[in-house]
Chain A
Amino acid sequence: NAGVTQTPKFRVLKTGQSMTLLCAQDMNHEYMYWYRQDPGMGLRLIHYSVGEGTTAKGEVPDGYNVSRLKKQNFLLGLESAAPSQTSVYFCASSSPGQKQYFGPGTRLTVT
């Protein structure tokens, strides 16, 4: 039981490049979340999903897209990366009404 895993762990992009972050969970959780963490800002919710095939915007969705084609996977896409998207990205998953389990994070730098 690996819990929540994130791929990749580190990535450096140039402005304008695109990439996809993968989150996978093996706990059969219905809900999945993407957060970004910036110094002095805590964690802010980007997008979330309450089930396969459904997604919704969180607090800071601009510049990101997500997809939940399979229950166990939640993808976060950056179509045209900007330096403001330099951050640490965390994925989480949960069952309805239960605590969220967090992945180890992906450190993204956009130059």
Chain B
Amino acid sequence: AQSVTQPDIHITVSEGASLELRCNYSYGATPYLFWYVQSPGQGLQLLLKYFSGDTLVQGIKGFEAEFKRSQSSFNLRKPSVHWSDAAEYFCAVGAPGGSNYKLTFGKGTLLTVNP
């Protein structure tokens, strides 16, 4: 069974600082990988996804993530955080197989941005 671990429950950074959110997954082959963001009281918005190909993936809002097979990781990065990035971030893994996949989510990392 697939699983996702987000080791950091809560991270605080200063506005303008760089950010890296960690995500480790467990799956027997190369999975589909996703990062979603959830602002307070809102639904989930997809930041980026990895299906195959280039292991460095660019997403919306200046985010990027790198798939590292050897480390079973898919860490999310942003070079300069903005106050509006304060939200909860979820990493998710999906099992490829035919045309159907189910997502397994990590427990989330809450990001606080200090002015």
Does B44 count as interface, using CB distance less than 8 angstroms?
yes
Q: How many residues of B contact A (CB 8 A)?
A: 22
Residue on B with the closest CB to A41?
A: B107
Say whether, besides A40-B107, A41-B107, A104-B43, A97 and B102 are in contact (CB < 8 Å): no
A43 contacts B43, C-beta separation under 8 Å: no
Measured CA separation A104–B40 after assembly (Å): 11
Interface set, chain A 96-110, CB cutoff 8 A to B: 96-97, 99-100, 102-105
Residues of B within 8 A of A96 (CB): 99-100
Other-chain residue from A41, A58, A90, A102 in contact with B102 (beta carbon distance below 8 A): A58
Does A22 count as interface, using CB distance less than 8 angstroms?
no
Other-chain residue from B9, B43, B101, B107 in contact with A102 (beta carbon distance below 8 A): B43
What DSSP secondary structure best describes chain A's contact surface?
strand
Does A44 count as interface, using CB distance less than 8 angstroms?
yes
Interface range, A side = 20 to 34
Other-chain residue from B43, B92, B99, B108 in contact with A105 (beta carbon distance below 8 A): B43
Residues of A within 8 A of B105 (CB): 35, 42-44
Interface set, chain B 9-66, CB cutoff 8 A to A: 9, 34, 36, 42-46, 49
- A selection of 26 A-B contacts at a CB cut-off of 8 Å is A4-B43, A33-B102, A33-B103, A40-B9, A41-B107, A42-B4, A42-B90, A42-B105, A42-B107, A42-B108, A43-B90, A43-B103, A45-B103, A48-B102, A59-B104, A90-B44, A96-B100, A97-B99, A99-B34, A99-B46, A102-B36, A102-B45, A103-B43, A104-B43, A105-B42, A105-B43
Interface of A with B (CB < 8 Å)? Answer: 4, 31, 33, 35, 40-45, 48, 50, 58-59, 90, 92, 96-97, 99-100, 102-105
